[in-house]
Amino acid sequence: MAKRAGSALFACDERIRVAVDELAFAEAELGSDSTEGLSQAIVVGRELLGEAFRVNRANHDVVRGTPDEVRARDARIVELCASAMSRMDEQSATLARRLTLARRAPEAIAGVRSDAASIRSRIPQTRDIIEHLAARYSSEALAEVAVNPVEAERLLDFAEHSARVAERRRAAGLREQANLALEAATEAVHRAAAALDAVETYEVEALHAESKLAALVEQSRRHLAAAQHEPQSRGVAGAIAELKSALADLPAAGVNTDPLACLARLHAANDALDAAIAAVRERATHPASSPEHVRHAVYDADQQLELVRDTIVGHPGWIGPEALAQLAQSERVRIDLGHYLGSSTARVTLADEDHRAHVIAMAQHVADLAGEALHLARRDIRAARLQDAGRRSAMLD
């Protein structure tokens, strides 16, 4: 690990030097506004490298600590350097695309106009799709896609205008302004295509949901009938009430509806009833949890939370929104659990069996959410490392 840490320090220092050279050449061709991302990545990279060198010095002090502490510092050095290089590689790749676009400006402008014309020809068909959808589904169901044809047309107008601006600025020798206008045109074309694609995707998803809804309604009714013969509890009663409510709220035949929302609510209600019944069965076949079990459950949840927090903090910039959202949800449930307990678990008597079961369920929910966040975070870290390795291989080629 010490050898890896030393190699990482050298590689990161060299990567910063290369990035500085890339920045200088790109600024000469594109201007400073277009290279701001790489400039900031270099600043952050230097900060991370500085921290890595400080950690490295601690490993060479007279009192270095235990071998495990030394290995942990070496691992931290590798992580800091990898994070710094990943940021610079990402911005370098973005800058390379901008340079390619700028160098092929005449072809790119022609491509924007050709793509805009092709996408514009799809708008009448998309309007027809919206009209047919409106005859079957509620306005709430179509809220996210109903305006997409209008939005696509607006984006295409903007793209064509930006292409003309890019052409004029380029002819006037204002290359930086021309490049910015061309980037804006290209992005607008992509967004217009995505807006029309979203309508077609929704059409397929709505048809699929509608085809599944009738079968799920019958399944839900059978589920309710079977639930009446299961051991009862407040949780089961509440889940039964919610499933009945979801079925009762389904619109009558001939009334426009939102099949995706109806399907999602029925699925959630059925899942909640399954979970409530499983909890009752579990309690019926296992002894009641003791206060010690409660404290262990809360402790395990906190340990899982701490692990995912350390993982995310140790990889700045690598973790995607899914993992962060799962962590945030886990932390919210943990806060709710603290309010429910009302005091430290070391002092809580938790004499009521239902109270103990609820605390354990909440703690397990915290642990499950944190575990999922950890899984997603590790997936993001693996993807970032693979991407980093691919970029380095491409640069070597």
Kindly report, residue by residue over 233-250, the tens digit of the pLDDT: 888 889 999 999 999 988
Rounded distance, CA 188 to CA 340, Å? 49
Q: Both tokens of residue 242?
A: 């919610």
pLDDT band at 64 (very low <50, low <70, confident <90, very high): low
Nearest to 200 by CA among 157, 159, 148: 148
Task: Return d(Cα 263, Cα 136) in angstroms, integer.
Answer: 16
Rounded-to-integer distance, Cα 12 and Cα 314, Å: 17
* Mean pLDDT in residue range 247-254: 86
> Both tokens of residue 3?
């050898």
In the predicted structure, residue 59 carries a pLDDT above the cut 50: yes
**Among all chains, which residue has been given the structure tokens 């035949």?**
253
Q: What is the pTM of this model?
A: 0.52
314 against 190, higher pLDDT: 190
SS3 content of the chain, % helix, strand, coil (to 5): 85, 0, 15
pLDDT at 349: 47
Lowest mean pLDDT among 32-46, 77-91, 296-310, 381-395: 381-395
The per-residue pLDDT of the chain, averaged, comes to 85
Question: Mind listing the pLDDT tens digit for each residue in 112-149?
Answer: 999 999 999 999 999 999 999 999 999 889 988 999 99
Sign of CA dihedral 356, 372, 378, 91: negative
Considering the chain, what percentage of its residues have pLDDT values greater than 70? 90
- What is the pLDDT confidence band of residue 346, given thresholds at 50, 70 and 90? very low
Residue 344 pLDDT level (bands cut at 50, 70, 90)? very low
CA atoms within 13 A on the CB side of 371: 8
What DSSP letter does each residue of 9-58 carry, written as one string? Answer: HHHHHHHHHHHHHHHHHHHHHH-SGGGHHHHHHHHHHHHHHHHHHHHHHH
Q: Delimit the domains of the chain by residue range.
A: 2-103, 107-210, 289-397
